Amino acid sequence: MCLLLAAFHAHPVYKLVIAANRDEFYDRPTAAAGFWDEMPDILGGKDLRAGGTWFGITRKGRVAAITNYRDPTTHKPDAPSRGSLVTDFLKGEEEPEVYLSRLTLSGGGYNGFNLVAGVVDRLFWYSNRGDGMQCIMPGIHGLSNHLLDTPWPKVSRGKDALGDILSKMSVLSPERFFDMLMDRFVPADDCLPDTGVSMEWERILSPIFISSSDYGTRSSTLLFVDRENHVTFMERTYGPTPEQNRDAAFEFMLEG
């Protein structure tokens, strides 16, 4: 996943709102979001090549999501899949602080990543390119392929759009969020970060919604958790044409 926008305890009705885009090569095999047959408490999509996921929630309210940290100079082709970090947290029972503390000891073996993990009332962020685990405070946050709340144009634009939607709606409309995640605005070159790729690729990767010949936004995911612990999870996967887009929606009450 390459963009995560979150409102944590920042709305009178919903204690957690996440809107996220997963960007990936089009030829990487993927299963659409659903409850997993082998681990039926986990809801999320699945990377069919490595077996992990980029974003998921459990029936007990464990939540995790991952983004890559873009730094091609340190890329290790034989590093383990970062999606396993999400899956391992979701299927476990450790407190998020314990899980992330352990990860600080082994995280250097992975390519660069950001991991958001916790329960719907208590979230944390850790990057193996950052300065340690951080408690996510109430407010609106954004995460792309650098550190939490780094003001890249897409992150700042997304946080502003999310805040605007939340300020105007007491009952959330999924279409407003999907429209936000379809934003293809390309910032001026002098506003783009320098992440070690060509300027052509910086431009391609700069919008909220990415499209190119072989890489782009494969799906958008929404998670709404209200203050009564009712969960709404929606995913829109994108085909070559709008007629081939597919929606999946799930609603449930958290257990326990």
Report pTM.
0.97
CA neighbours within 13 Å on the CB side: how many for 123?
A: 25
Q: Are 194 and 202 contacting, i.e. CB atoms less than 8 angstroms apart?
A: yes
pLDDT of residue 1 exceeding 80: no
- As to burial, measured by CB atoms within 10 angstroms (0-12 exposed, 13-18 middle, 19+ buried), residue 33 is buried
52-106 pLDDT, tens digit each: 999 999 999 999 999 999 999 999 999 999 999 999 999 999 999 999 999 999 9
Residue 225 φ/ψ, nearest 5 degrees: -125, 115
Cα 38 to Cα 25, 42, 51, 231, distances in angstroms: 26, 9, 12, 21
Q: How far apart are CA 50 and CA 217, in angstroms?
A: 19
170-229 pLDDT, tens digit each: 889 999 999 999 999 999 999 999 999 999 999 999 999 999 999 999 999 999 999 999
Which positions ≥6 away from 64 have C-beta within 8 Å?
55, 56, 85, 86, 89, 90, 115, 116, 117, 118
Number of C-beta neighbours around residue 228 at 10 A? 9
Q: What pLDDT shows up at residue 129? A: 97
12-50 pLDDT, tens digit each: 999 999 999 999 999 999 999 999 999 999 999 999 999
For 242, left (φ over 0), alpha (ψ -120 to 50), or beta?
A: alpha
Residue burial 177-200, b: 16+ Cβ < 10 Å; e: rest: bbebbeeeeebeeeebbebeeeee
124-178 pLDDT, tens digit each: 999 999 999 999 999 999 999 999 999 999 999 999 999 999 999 988 999 999 9
Tokens of 15: 């204690």
Q: What pLDDT shows up at residue 202? A: 97
Domains of the chain: 3-253 (3.60.60.10)
Number of C-beta neighbours around residue 20 at 10 A? 25
Q: How confident is the model at residue 256 (pLDDT cuts 50, 70, 90)?
A: confident
Q: How far apart are CA 197 and CA 200, in angstroms?
A: 8
Q: How confident is the model at residue 234 (pLDDT cuts 50, 70, 90)?
A: very high
Strand-pairing partners, residue 117, are 64, 124
Q: What pLDDT shows up at residue 142? A: 98
pLDDT of residue 242 exceeding 90: no
For the chain, list the strands marked E by DSSP: 3-8, 14-25, 30-35, 42-47, 55-58, 62-68, 113-119, 122-127, 134-135, 139-143, 215-226, 230-237, 246-253
Q: What pLDDT shows up at residue 249? A: 98
Q: How far apart are CA 243 and CA 238, in angstroms?
A: 9
**SS3 at position 163:** helix
